Amino acid sequence: MNFIYDLHRTMMSQKLILVYQGDFTQESTKSILSMAERNLDSSGEESSIKRKVFNVMAEALQNIVKYSDELIDGQSRSHTAIFLIGKEANRYSIMSGNPVQKSRVERLKKTLEHINGLDKEGLKGLYKDIIRNTTISEKGGAGLGFVDMARKSGEKLEFEFPEMNNNYCFFCLKVNVPRENE
């Protein structure tokens, strides 16, 4: 049972204030957002910072719900993913991780690298272009989530794709939201 204490120490050292691991549905997303909102409200955080954090959280959670691939490992199937929020003196970190098929990784990387290569005006232009020129996908999104997270945070998106097995990688995304307005 030492793993409980080890997990607690890890969460404290990483300054994590909320962690959810499991299946992600619209209902669990609502619950996570509600818990996080209460936490932000009780912390006395500036309303403009709370809005940015909340927006990035909502986009990250929607990405998990809409785009996480079902992990098929032998006979078992899972939509398991993870969502974390960390709070440091100068920023909030919104982190997520979910399985994606290896065939999707290269395209995701290119998209994220493109977004990270844009400045504030470039992100604004890309956002407008996507709205004007894209139809809603079969999964319900128009591909705006990453652009919106980059715009709201004002920071580069951090990402990695560690290999899970021959067919899947684990898409790790971290978005930092500064705790001070520019």
Domain locations in the chain as residue ranges: 2-178
Is residue 39 exposed (0-12), middle (13-18) or buried (19+ Cβ within 10 Å)?
A: middle
**Residues contacting 159, CB < 8 A, separation 6+:** 108, 109, 112, 171, 172, 173, 174
Q: Of residues 139 and 112, which shows the higher confidence score? A: 112
pLDDT for the residue 40: 86
The residue assigned the tokens 């560690």 is 162
pLDDT for the residue 80: 83
Q: Are 86 and 103 in contact (CB under 8 A)?
A: no
pLDDT for the residue 143: 62
pLDDT for the residue 179: 92
Kindly tell me if the per-residue pLDDT of 137 is higher than 70.
Answer: no
Give the pLDDT band of residue 49 (cuts 50, 70, 90): very high
The residue assigned the tokens 């998990």 is 64
**Residues contacting 59, CB < 8 A, separation 6+:** 145, 146, 148, 149, 152
In this structure, which CATH number among 3.40.50.1470, 2.40.50.140, 3.90.1170.20, 3.30.565.10 belongs to the domain 2-178? Answer: 3.30.565.10
* Rounded CA separation 112/115 (Å): 5
Kindly tell me if the per-residue pLDDT of 140 is higher than 70.
Answer: no
Kindly tell me if the per-residue pLDDT of 109 is higher than 70.
Answer: yes
Section 8-19 average pLDDT: 92
pLDDT digits (tens, 9 = 90+) for 60-104: 999 898 778 776 666 556 668 999 999 999 999 999 999 999 999
Q: Which of 51-60, 121-130, 131-140, 154-163 has the lowest mean pLDDT?
A: 131-140
| Number of other CB atoms surrounding residue 176 within 10 Å | 20
pLDDT digits (tens, 9 = 90+) for 24-44: 888 899 999 999 888 888 888
Q: Are 54 and 40 in contact (CB under 8 A)?
A: yes
